[in-house]
Amino acid sequence: MMHRVVFLGPPGAGKGTQAAEIARELGIPHLSTGDLLRAAVAARTPLGLEADGHMRAGQLVPDDLVLRILHDRLAEPDARTGYLLDGFPRNLAQAEALGKFAEVDRVVSFDISPDLLVRRLSERRVCSKCQSVYNLSTKPPKVPDRCDRDGTPLVQRPDDRPEAVTTRLKVYAEQTAPLLDFYQKRHLLRPIDASGTPDEVATRLRRALA
């Protein structure tokens, strides 16, 4: 069965955590526009330099940049047999654009309370080298402040600072949440409860994708 899946959910809902695992299980690439943009920022490409300020502020990166990066990534051979889009589309213009160049079979939305999001984001730490994601209380590294895989110091994402988190939550409510209705009307939406442990969420997710 072909899997062309979108993960829709607020910042900190656990999209990236679940996507890494389920994409491996389904044998499809995990395409996170946030990860692709952060890689462009780190590589200091022209696109990355333009995206950086928007991301630090917690605002969306302009649609034309994001569409370009995603369109190019979807053209790679591994995306021929399916894909998991994490963090794209993020507004109605992107959803309409996506509909013109790629199919979507299912949209999983992550339901979770704002309190839990703020907590998860404030406790998130990432490896500055391999980008592995940790959480100070729910997924601590074995050695404090060091990545389990390569021992590199962990850092906080610039947009996980409280001011940027407030903006990201507002941007989600105003620009991204309308997509719930957009996909509901197209009978593609499968909401899941994103609270609880990662294993509990993974079980709900497998059911939603079965």
The single-letter code of the amino acid at 101 is: F
Mark whether 15 is an active-site residue.
yes
CB 14 within 8 A of CB 110: yes
- Catalytic annotation present for 204: no
Instruction: Take residue 199 and report the two structure tokens written for it.
Output: 């294993």
Residues 132-161 as x/- pattern, contact with Mg ion by CB under 5 A: ------------------------------
Q: Using CB distances below 5 to 8 A depending on partner kind, what does residue 82 bind out of Mg ion, ligand AP5, none? A: none
Per the CB < 8 A criterion, the answer to whether 119 and 15 are in contact is no
Q: Is 157 a catalytic residue?
A: yes
Looking at beta carbons, which residue is closest to Mg ion? 16
Tell me, yes or no, if 38 is annotated catalytic: no
> 125-164 mask for ligand AP5 (x: CB under 6 A)?
--------x-x--xx-------------------x-----
Whose Cβ is closer to ligand AP5: residue 92's or residue 188's?
92
Helices assigned H by DSSP within 75-127: 92-101, 114-122
Tell me which residues in 161-200 interact with ligand AP5 (CB under 6 A).
Answer: 168, 197-198
> Are residues 104 and 188 in contact, defined by beta-carbon separation less than 8 angstroms?
yes
**C-alpha to C-alpha distance for 63 and 91, rounded to whole angstroms:** 9
Which position has the token pair 């997710």? 205
3-state helix, strand, coil in the chain (%, to 5): 50, 20, 30
Q: Is 90 one of the catalytic residues? A: yes
Task: Enumerate residues 5-64 that contact Mg ion by CB under 5 A.
Answer: 16
Specify the residue, 9 or 29, whose C-beta has the smaller distance to ligand AP5. 9
Q: Which one of 38, 73, 120, 124 is the catalytic residue?
A: 124
CA angle 133, 135, 136 (to 5 degrees): 140
The residue type found at 39 is A
Angle between helices 63-74 and 33-42 (to 10 degrees): 100
26 binds, among Mg ion, ligand AP5, none (CB under 5 to 8 A by kind): none
Residues with a catalytic annotation lie at: 15, 90, 124, 157, 168
Residues at the contact surface with ligand AP5, assessed by CB under 6 A: 9, 11-17, 32-34, 37, 54-55, 58-61, 66, 87-88, 90, 94, 120, 123-124, 133, 135, 138-139, 159, 168, 197-198, 201
Residues at the contact surface with Mg ion, assessed by CB under 5 A: 16
